[in-house]
Chains A and B, each alone.
Chain A
Amino acid sequence: MFAKVAAFEFRQIVRSPLFWAVAGIFFLLPFGYVASEHIHIGDTANVHKNSPFATIQVDLIMGMFFMFASTAFVAGAVIRDDETGFGPILRAAPVTKFDYLYGRFTGAFAAALLAFASVTAGLIVGSMLPGLDPDKFGAFRPDAYAYAFFLMAGPSLLLTSALFFLVATTTRSMAWVFVAVIVFIVAYIIANIALGKPDLEAIAGRWDPLGLFSFDVATRYWTANDRNSLLPALNGALLFNRLFCVGLGLGALALAYPLYRHSAAPGRSAPLPDPEIEEAVTPAAAPSATRRFDSAGLFAQFVERTRFDMGLVFRSPVLWVILALALGNASISLWTGTDDGRYGAAVYPVTRLLIPALDGSYTFFVIIIAAFFAGELVWRDRDRRTHEIIDSTPAPDWTFIVPKTAAVSLVMAGLLLVGVLAAVLVQTFKGYYDYEPGEYLLWYLVPGVVDLTILSALAVFGQVIAPNKFAGWGVMVIYIIARFALPANGFEHHLYFYGGTNPVPLSDMNGQGRFWIGAWWFRLYWSAFALLLLLGAYALWRRGATNSLASRLRTAPRRLRGPALWIGLAAVLVFAGAGAFIYRNTNVLNDYRTGPRDDRWLADYEKTLLPFENLPQPEVTSVKLNVTIDPDGPSLETRGVYVLRNTTTQPLREVHVRFDRELEVRALSVQGAWPKKTYDRFDYRIFAFDTPMAPGEERTLSFDTRLAERGFRNAQHNTRDLTEVVDNGTFVNSLEIAPIIGMDRSLLLTDRGKRREYGLPVELHPAPLGDQASRAHNYIGHGGWVTSDITVTTAADQTPLAPGDEVSDVVHGATRTAHFVSAKPILQFFSIQSARYAVKSETYKGVKFSVYYYPKHGENVDRMLRALTTSLDYYQANFSPYQFDQVRIVEFPDYAQFAQSFAGTFPWSEGLGFIADYRDPSRIDMVTYIAAHEFAHQWWAHQIVGADQQGATALSETLAQYSALRVMRQLYGPAHIRKFLKYELDSYLRSRGAEASEEQPLEKVESDQGYIHYRKGSLVMYRLADEIGEDAVNRALRSLLAKYAFKGAPYPTALDLVAALRAQAPADKQQLITDLFQNITLYDLKATDAVTHRRPDGRYDVALTVSAEKLYASGTGVEHPAPMNETVDIGAFTAMPGEADFGQGSVLMLQKEPIVSGVHTLHFITAVKPKFAGIDPYNELIDRNSDDNTIAVR
């Protein structure tokens, strides 16, 4: 009987349209992923589309979405009979409860698995399509598909199916099952975020019911090669997790048995009995009243309808369930949105940070609510069968459509307000009381309500034309998918995507800037269209029994007579007028750019101009700039003169001059030269000298440029209105406003797939390490060492700033002009800034330290100054004297999140550190770290700068990281450095797995490999200093400065750095330097056991068992074991390193011990009984699993 019930259920489901719809969707999604170059799930540039890793990733993610389908199948198996009324008949049949319940589940689950097999089918069929890029596909791996289906997705599906089957059998209500699924998903997302911290991942990996974390933990440090070839070993946490899923699933199934009553469903309570027993006496007739059908009466109807429709929304449990989920999700986002994440830093919850957090976590739910209730309201009268009564009332047709839209809008406004209240509560809980109601209103509520109303109009219209509610919701699902998919594929103009508008970046310094202007034009444009949609919905509204769209289309014109026609005409005029105005701004005044068009431009740029790369060019030796900023324009005009010198040994016939793409070049002339060729599309000009420029000869180049906002642009991806020149917080660098001499490789197309698509060589590498020709230029803008003379004019209430000594600063009428001169040689790379600043200054050892900041951002200014003075002492003592008389930190708006080091001047984003919250002193001091790093660049970039070849950034970024770490160590002690190192280590290990091209060893790092020059660089330099001594490292760096500081070509390379370090290292550390700089070296260190015994003298014997392995990896991640023979820290502690209670006092013992490959037991003695012991406890080595280095002592 069991088998028959199961087979019957299986056939029932397989015959249903739902089954085929689900199978179709779950075939197409993975098929599209494999066949499309634009969809990425698990695959990266070097990871194949059909790699085992990507296959499992796709199965897991599809499994998560499939939960809805499998739940519908298994829950339907027990609920369907009650809904059809067939239940009592079936239960009266001679089927045991066991056979009925589990037969149904088995049949339904089997059907679900069959439907889910379409994922595997989609992956396989997709990978066999002809014409796919063979580089993106590896061998056909049936074992991987089986592994993904049976071991990864299968157990998770069993768990969720069983869980919701249990809910279905208990409640016998699809609505409750639906609620349970939503609750499950939100709980999952919340847990996901809460457990997303590195130290909690192990827990998440064990207990994740969907297996995503488990898979992530098992593969987190996999390289591209591993991802293409390996299946995760089914042991440890992964095995535990899979067994947990199956076990919990079976448990839920078992529990369903006692909870299921094999009898009639718990019905609703019986209706009220009719209470009148006595014959009804005839009461007096109702009083009469005048009725009004004039405008006042209609307005009353509008208000009443809106109120009534809103009431029905507010009484719906669906609203409250989704709202609870949305708030749960949002509060996590709001709470953690102000954690910097890196190094456990935190920032103050300022309004401009919470609004994007709300947008990311809350607004989407509100969109879903809007789409859901648009369907509910449009169909409600029909669903509830009240439509015949309502439709036969004298309420005019428009009182159906307008109040429903208004009700949805008002509900949305209420929900957005709830979101704001949640944000304000979070601010209050975090002790931040600078509430900004005006900002919430103008930055979030008003635009949000307008956008959601536009969206609601579409949802209402979709419901009116759709044959039923589900089709109407389907319209919105397609719309929401298209909203993500179209821009990703180059269809980026907001003019043709309904409801599209410019995003508005927020800044404390600059508010909404001018970004809101374009955004609101688009809103006007789409509001007019939304009005047309509503008129269409009005004309096509179902009133009475007429249902087919065709018959409603016939009667529509009659409704559109009269005022509706005039409103429609007005809407068409506004739509067309706003559209034309927008088009003029986005496509005539500005270039309309899309991702693909930009890529094409870059590819053509490279094809046309890269051949000029090695053409000998004169070098700039002196720069004079006269910059005029109009913050209101906004515009920035630059007139300047370069002195060019032929530093080569041969006469030069041409000079190549290029400009940033945004820049308007108004005049350009080169002394004694004529414009030979101009590439207008690329702003690239070739000048030919009348008489060739002799070696050592100097000529001048004069130019006049303008960087200005012209109207507004279509903001999407890389394009947005100017962020460089704004009302308050202008920040440009010289590359953006002044000519660049010669061609180089910076900012070209790097994505391998795109390079192939556009017919470029797949790899774009810099010149190889050790190349001699490229030593003629440094890697920063190809310029040499120059003297500078910069005049900046701005509005009188702003402070103009540029590198150099300030020689004058005068206010003249409405303008203020400051003049900066640098007589000493500096790099040809300048920053120009202007804003309404507050200033705090301090003079220390003859250097004037100043912080220019937004007046509300004074919190960490003192910390910055202290960081700078501490750094000055360390750097002058250990490296060389500081070359300038001033250091300036200058804040700029949050349109970019970095700090950058120009000569003596550091532009620093308001998004980084200015609002860092250090009321909790255990927070890692990121502000000091950044200040020390940027200041260190005054040596490591502004004194010595690497040649334009591989390894250049090892001389600047890696050494700046090293310097900053030394300053931090001096301020906070070595015990606290572990947090940094651990972050650097995890970040490096993760990033190398996602490397798109080839991982280089540190000495060959390429400039876009930040995870190597920053992250690995910190680890390498810290360990080296620990092994050969800080003094030896600093001696080596001093020798480098002595040889290369302020010198022109040939510029130093990473080989010089390695040689300088080798010169200071003893013979037994030479191999270490090879491993650190020239190999990709990984370790696997682990503490497996630690035992103590109390000695007769009261001290403790500690026996620590460790295992150690070392390996070398190739650039694509192929690993080879190597014999390990080096010294590693061994430690014993009273607290766990890295925990909050860990400090210098927790260290009982820390010493270096020689360690070779294999398992060893080490013995040592401590005065106090240790709680923890371990190997490399501070994570100085690049250890693939750094969490098992320390173990609790037995």
Chain B
Amino acid sequence: MLIIESLSHVYSGGVRALSDVSLTIPNGMFGLLGPNGAGKSTLMRIVATLQTPTSGFVRFDDIDVLANPDALRRTLGYLPQDFGVYPRVTALEMLDHLAVLKGLSEPKARKAVVEGLLRQVNLWEHRKRALAGYSGGMRQRFGIAQALIGEPRLIIVDEPTAGLDPEERNRFLNLLAEIGENVVVLLSTHIVADVADLCPAMAIISDGRIVRQGAPSDLMASLAGRIWMKSVDKDELAEIRAHHQVISSRLFSGKTVVHVLSDNNPGAGFAPTPGGLDDVYFSTLAEAHPHALAA
């Protein structure tokens, strides 16, 4: 179990990235949802021992992460949001190298683990290719393979599906789903569907604060009967915004489809719609930032 208590972080320039974040994360997949710049990566890096917070406390099982980062590293698998590769180094070489760093010093056992992981992420065929030539999906799968070295009990994956095409994303999520049963998997993303598809528990972070947490189904249930939609022309949008709490608007077949949050039927052509996780997310953000929601 990963316990985060009262975590705050202020960058040297005065930017406040995290404010009093507290989370308790049990085994299984946990989704951390938030827009870009909300502080997801800062939180991930702090948990991954790469950054020291201004204040707060992080504990994983019986490890005090901030006081004893090396102990956590021994049981950590981390896939950063954005990582590069060395030139002229193959996947096999790189994975082998990382396996040594993770303490697999027996060559024979290491070889078996590395080969097994490459097969598990379906890169066996391409193990002798330079990583620099990999596509985005292959690179992310390599990323998850390295995160799995040494059977970590805490796996952190930061924005793993950004930039993947739908098929690649699908395959990647399947891979994640397999491993996330008996260990803590902390998945950060700004894509609602990632969380909806995978995570039994989630939190929404905005402006460095946790603004909502719970099981996706519970959160969706809380919106039942309160979401209304209407197809409108573009010039009507300003009028609707003035009178209703708009949580999202998007284009569909040339018309603008508006979702508004209302305890009662707002009338005027609005129809009820079952709330999805999208609506939870956008309504949460809208509540956190009543004036910032422009899209």
Interface residues of A (CB under 8 A from B): 269, 271-276, 279-280, 282-293, 296-297, 299-301, 304-305, 308, 312, 315, 380, 384-386, 388-396, 399, 543-546, 548, 551, 555
Contacts and interface: CB of A to CB of B under 8 A. Distances in A.
B88 interface: yes
Contact of A389 (B70, B98, B109): B98
A289 B112 contact: yes
B146 A396 contact: no
Interface of B: 12, 45, 48-52, 70, 73-74, 76, 78-80, 82-89, 97-98, 100-106, 109-110, 112-113, 115-117, 119-120, 122, 125-126, 129, 133-138, 143, 146, 148, 150-151, 167-168, 171, 174-175, 178
Contact of A282 (B102, B109, B151, B178): B178
A273 B137 CA distance: 9
Contacts of A272: 126, 129, 133-135, 138
15 contacts: A271-B135, A272-B126, A282-B174, A283-B120, A285-B178, A287-B113, A289-B112, A296-B105, A301-B101, A385-B83, A389-B146, A392-B48, A392-B73, A394-B101, A544-B52
Given A287-B112, A548-B12, A392 B49 contact: yes
B45 A396 contact: no
Contact of A288 (B48, B143, B151): B151
A544 B120 contact: no
Contacts of A312: 86, 89
B84 to A, nearest CB: 3
A388 B168 contact: no
Contacts of B97: 304, 308
Contacts of B101: 301, 304-305, 390, 393-395, 399
B84 A292 contact: no
Contacts of A395: 101-102
Nearest to A548: B12
A217 to B, nearest CB: 46
B219 to A, nearest CB: 30
Given A271-B133, A286-B117, A384-B86, A297 B105 contact: yes
A282 B97 CA distance: 25
B66 to A, nearest CB: 12
B104 A289 contact: yes
A291 B45 contact: no
A386 B83 contact: yes
Contacts of A280: 122, 171, 174-175
Contacts of B167: 274
A837 B48 CA distance: 73
B88 A392 contact: no
Contacts, number: 155
A388 B134 contact: no
A288 B113 contact: yes
B50 A545 contact: yes
A500 B80 CA distance: 44
A287 B134 contact: no
A547 to B, nearest CB: 9
Contacts of A380: 86
A286 B120 contact: yes
A290 B50 contact: no
Closest 3 CB pairs of A and B: A286-B116, A544-B50, A385-B84
A631 B105 CA distance: 56
A291 B120 contact: no
Nearest to A299: B105
Please indicate which of the listed interface residues A282, A291, A390 has the most CB atoms of chain B within 10 Å of its own CB. Answer: A291
A293 B70 CA distance: 11
Contacts of B70: 394, 396
Given A272-B133, A272-B138, A291 B74 contact: yes
Nearest to A302: B100
Contacts of B115: 286
Contact of A392 (B12, B76, B84, B125): B76
B93 to A, nearest CB: 8
B105 A287 contact: no
A689 to B, nearest CB: 84
Contacts of B112: 286-287, 289
A720 B83 CA distance: 55
Nearest to A303: B100
A292 B106 contact: yes
A275 B178 contact: no
Given A279-B171, A544-B45, 13 more contacts: A271-B133, A272-B138, A283-B119, A283-B122, A284-B119, A286-B148, A289-B112, A292-B105, A384-B87, A393-B98, A393-B102, A394-B70, A545-B45
Contact of A384 (B85, B113, B129, B135): B85
Contacts of A548: 12
A285 to B, nearest CB: 6
A273 B113 contact: no
Contacts of B86: 312, 380, 384, 386
Given A394-B70, A544-B49, A286 B113 contact: yes
A180 B48 CA distance: 44
Please indicate which of the listed interface residues A289, A312, A388 has the most CB atoms of chain B within 10 Å of its own CB. Answer: A289
B200 to A, nearest CB: 20
A286 B174 contact: no
Please indicate which of the listed interface residues A274, A386, A543 has the most CB atoms of chain B within 10 Å of its own CB. Answer: A274
A388 B45 contact: yes
Given A275-B125, A283-B120, A546 B76 contact: no
B135 A274 contact: yes
Given A271-B133, A274-B168, A396-B70, A285 B120 contact: yes
Nearest to A396: B70
Contact of A291 (B12, B78, B150, B168): B150
Contacts of A385: 82-84
Contacts of A279: 171
B48 A546 contact: no
A293 B105 CA distance: 9
Contacts of B120: 283-286
Contacts of A391: 49-50
Given A291-B74, A300-B100, A384 B138 contact: no
A342 B76 CA distance: 71
A286 B171 CA distance: 18
Given A290-B106, A291-B150, A394-B73, A546 B78 contact: no
Contact of B122 (A271, A276, A388, A392): A276
A297 B135 contact: no
A138 to B, nearest CB: 56
A492 to B, nearest CB: 43
Nearest to B179: A285
A395 B98 CA distance: 9
A274 B51 contact: no
A284 B133 contact: no
B103 A394 contact: yes
Contacts of A289: 104, 106, 109-110, 112-113
A672 to B, nearest CB: 87
Contacts of A543: 50
Contacts of A551: 12
Contacts of B105: 291-292, 296-297, 299-301
A285 B143 CA distance: 16
A395 B73 CA distance: 8
A389 B80 contact: yes
Nearest to B145: A286
B14 to A, nearest CB: 14
Nearest to B12: A548
A830 B13 CA distance: 78
Given A291-B102, A393-B102, A315 B49 contact: no
B79 to A, nearest CB: 8
Nearest to B137: A274
A43 to B, nearest CB: 48
